[in-house]
Amino acid sequence: MTTRQLLYLAQLENYDVTCLRTWFMKNPGRGVEEKKHRLVWTMKVRVLFVLITVISLFVSKEKALFVSLYCLTPFDVFVKSVVYGCAWAVRRILHPKMRVIGVAGSWGKTTMKMSLAATLNSKYRVITTEGNINTIMGVALSVLRLPVGTEIFICEMDAFYRGEIARVCQLIQPEVGVLTAVGPMHLERFHDDMNALVRAQFELPEYVKKEGVFFIQEDIQIPKGVAIQSMKKFKEVEDGVREVAKYFDVALSQIQLARVEHRNEVSVVNGLIIIDDAYNSNPTGFRRALQTLKNTKATMRIIVTPGMIELGAVQEKENREAAQEAAKVCDVIIVVGEENKKALVEGARGAKKTVWVPDLVEVQQQLRVLAKPGSAILFENDLTDQYF
């Protein structure tokens, strides 16, 4: 692999050494091509490039990458500590009266966040974390950019390891917590320990202010020993938004449900019905999107998917079962990429037609041949270049 490919892979994996080791174990001898995105030459990438170039004179480039990352760790930790500390001070000095809603969950966070913002904007000055930014540093930078006078800050947060949500909560001091779902997303980062993943998500209610409220989706099982001061349950996103609106004394007539781009969006393009669910994928969302496809009147139903990732030990099983469900609904199943090829193709054995393609370029060529006017095409998930 070239130095540029190594840097691109490291950037895609957020410079996480554990994730990089896992990738190299799964993909010996493979490279990563810049097909869907390009390497961004940040200062960190430039420094890593120099370090790898020098260190690779003595060891392999792969080892040089890891040594370089370890060399940068002290500086990286220092910079992140400074940013976090500045954000901590800004929250307390410039925004002492600002009310904060923390939104966590394995999926559904962005939809909930945007729906809450659209609803509460009718009465308050509301700012949210941008896009799907939900890491400690992402939140810290969002806090530093908050305009003075912000009345409500809606913060999306995610758990990639134990303690991450706790650190975010210590920074933002949430008055309201919302937990949308708990499932096997990012499970491999928790070493296939579902209990650890659940505990990580339930760090949120532990940090909700005593005078605040914790809202939880009713299907979520609450682990023993979790300290929750005040809790209310909700069914779907709309119910959750309604409950939060009541808490903030916003008229129910102001409730709005936001449409998040690439989340089960239906459109018609050149006579083809497109169901775009490419934002990400999880077992629940996959089946929900299949139901949308099933309920769509079409001459032919096609699904294009690379499958689901970061499900740890259950990833193969979940993808196989999802493909089995797809085989009952779809006329054609197009499996994309190497990551879940085996599980998806095995699960799709009962389908009328299954096609494997290496990347999205080949997908377009297949669709030109297979899709006719009146066909419905479901795009389920979209993975970055290291999975192809």
* pLDDT at residue 224, as a whole number: 84
* pLDDT at residue 207, as a whole number: 95
* pLDDT at residue 185, as a whole number: 86
How many domains are contained in the chain? 3
Q: Are 310 and 276 in the same domain?
A: yes
Indicate whether 84 belongs to any domain: no
Output the domain CATH number for residue 142.
Answer: 3.40.1190.10
Indicate whether 225 belongs to any domain: yes
Which of 204, 229, 254 marks a domain boundary?
254
Question: Which of the four pLDDT bands, split at 50, 70 and 90, describes residue 280?
Answer: confident
Indicate whether 31 belongs to any domain: yes
Q: Summarize pLDDT for 227-257 with one digit per residue, the tens.
A: 787 999 999 999 999 999 999 999 999 999 9
Output the domain CATH number for residue 310.
Answer: 3.90.190.20
Q: Are 286 and 344 in the same domain?
A: yes
* pLDDT at residue 339, as a whole number: 92
* pLDDT at residue 30, as a whole number: 87
Q: 17 lies in which domain range?
A: 3-79
Q: Are 99 and 243 in the same domain?
A: yes
Q: Summarize pLDDT for 23-42 with one digit per residue, the tens.
A: 999 888 888 999 889 999 99
Q: Are 269 and 249 in the same domain?
A: no
Q: Are 195 and 320 in the same domain?
A: no
Q: Are 246 and 98 in the same domain?
A: yes
Indicate whether 89 belongs to any domain: no
CA distances to 102, 145, 165, 289 from 280, in Å: 21, 27, 21, 11
For 75, phi then psi, to 5°, come to: -65, -40
Q: Are 103 and 237 in the same domain?
A: yes
| CA angle (209 as vertex; 208, 211 as ends), nearest 5 | 125
> Do you know the residue count of the chain?
388
Question: Which of the four pLDDT bands, split at 50, 70 and 90, describes residue 45?
Answer: very high
Question: Which of the four pLDDT bands, split at 50, 70 and 90, describes residue 53?
Answer: very high
User: What average pLDDT score do residues 124-150 get?
Assistant: 94
Which of 254, 284, 318 marks a domain boundary?
254
Strand 152-156 with 353-357, pairing: unpaired
Residue where the block lists tokens 């690439």: 262
Rounded Cα–Cα distance for residues 51 and 151 (Å):
45
Indicate whether 86 belongs to any domain: no
* pLDDT at residue 111, as a whole number: 93
* pLDDT at residue 318, as a whole number: 96
Q: 114 and 260 in contact (C-beta within 8 Å)? A: yes
CA distances to 199, 338, 368 from 271, in Å: 47, 31, 13
Residue 152: enclosing H or E segment and its boundaries? Answer: strand 152-156
Mean pLDDT of the chain: 94
Indicate whether 87 belongs to any domain: no
* pLDDT at residue 261, as a whole number: 84
Q: Summarize pLDDT for 290-343 with one digit per residue, the tens.
A: 999 999 999 999 999 999 999 988 999 999 999 999 999 999 999 999 999 999
Q: Are 110 and 245 in the same domain?
A: yes
Judged by phi (left if over 0) then psi (alpha if -120 to 50, else beta), residue 308 lies in beta
Tokens representing residue 197 in the block? 């993943």
Rounded Cα–Cα distance for residues 383 and 32 (Å):
13
Rounded Cα–Cα distance for residues 35 and 37 (Å):
6
* pLDDT at residue 192, as a whole number: 87
Q: Are 73 and 148 in the same domain?
A: no
**Cα diameter, the chain:** 67
Question: Which of the four pLDDT bands, split at 50, 70 and 90, describes residue 76?
Answer: very high
Which of 254, 286, 319 marks a domain boundary?
254
pLDDT > 80? residue 225: no
User: What average pLDDT score do residues 341-346 get?
Assistant: 96
pLDDT > 90? residue 186: no
Q: What is the DSSP letter of 347?
A: H
Residue 64: enclosing H or E segment and its boundaries? Answer: helix 61-93
Q: Are 178 and 291 in the same domain?
A: no
Indicate whether 88 belongs to any domain: no
Q: Are 250 and 129 in the same domain?
A: yes
- The model's pTM is 0.90
* Helices marked H in 254-314: 283-294
Indicate whether 167 belongs to any domain: yes
* pLDDT at residue 228, as a whole number: 84
Q: Are 238 and 355 in the same domain?
A: no
